Structure 1
Amino acid sequence: MKFTRKANANWKGTGMEGKGTISTQSTTLDKAQLSFKTRFAEGVGTNPEELIAAAHSGCFTMQLSFLLSEAGFTPEDLNTEARVTLEDGTITLIQLELTGKVPGISEDQFNETAQKAKQICPVSELLNTEIRLSATLLS
């Protein structure tokens, strides 16, 4: 299977005073606000690091679901928080915090499968940074 997805960013003005928008092909993001404040402080809008976190948590969690299903397990609930650290202009770390409820799986199987998902998730493969995973199996 091969497909291409697209997004668009538009920016007007300087880096600090300017403003921009980001839109996605699906229109889930449709001219979402982007600014210095939304990236480096707090404000209404989004930023590249938040979007990377969203993409990584979604990709990883879906990859894990596929692997668990292939192993004969049906996850009841998988929840992943991704935290992207930007330090001195470089993304230095992505921390994935996973909690999952998967009937019949051992903690070892769950952790091994989660580690494999982290390795083969297409977004993990794309990113050139340290990626750490913490996994908690709920009963």
Structure 2
Amino acid sequence: MAIINWATAKYEGLGKDGKGQVSTQSGALKQQPYGFNTRFENKAGTNPEEQIAAAHASCFTMALSFALAKQGFSKGTLESKVDITLVKDGDGYTITKSEIRLDAKVPGISGEEFEKTAVEAKLNCPISKLLNCDVTLDITSFDGN
């Protein structure tokens, strides 16, 4: 069974002078502005890297949550922050890294077991599989009590 989700992007004007809008099927983004200024000049709006970071953070966190539940854990808190690194590459740009930072509290699991489960979730979440860059995981805090 395939699940298909969609988003639309419209860009009026070209290059730095262009302005775009992006919308998602769910309505979470609805004609959200994007363009050169939102991507490279920190103006209000979104950009593709921010959207990838949100997708990776939510996908990884959900994958880890389901993996822990499958192991019999029913309580806990997982919070992930993902940094996407975009670097100039000749005339264009390349995403070179997706860095996951994880804060977690899962009562009753050992640190070793938690780390193994988190690494497996990182490797197996669909967005990690999609990205063609270095995907790292840093468990910034963990509490097994």
- Given the two structures, how large is their TM-score scaled by the length of structure 2? 0.93
Tell me which residue corresponds to 1:31. 31
Please give the alpha-carbon distance, in whole angstroms, between the structure 1 residues aligned to 2:119 and 2:97: 16
Tell me which residue corresponds to 2:123. 119
Matches within 5 A, 1:7-46: 7-46=7-46
* Shift in CA distance, 75/83, structure 1 to aligned 2, threshold 3 Å: farther
Give the share of equivalent positions with the same residue, in percent. 45
SS in 2 for 1:16: helix
Tell me which residue corresponds to 1:95. 99
Please give the alpha-carbon distance, in whole angstroms, between the structure 2 residues aligned to 1:137 and 1:4: 35
Unaligned runs of 5+ in 1: none
Tell me which residue corresponds to 2:83. 83
Please give the alpha-carbon distance, in whole angstroms, between the structure 1 residues aligned to 2:41 and 2:7: 24
Report how many residues are paired: 139
Superposition RMSD in Å: 0.9
CA apart distance, 1:2: 2.1
CA apart distance, 1:34: 0.4
Please give the alpha-carbon distance, in whole angstroms, between the structure 1 residues aligned to 2:97 and 2:49: 11
- Given the two structures, how large is their TM-score scaled by the length of structure 1? 0.97
* Paired residues of 1:7 and 1:23 also in contact (CA < 8 A): yes
CA apart distance, 1:15: 1.5
Please give the alpha-carbon distance, in whole angstroms, between the structure 2 residues aligned to 1:75 and 1:12: 48
Runs of 4+ with deviation above 6 angstroms: none
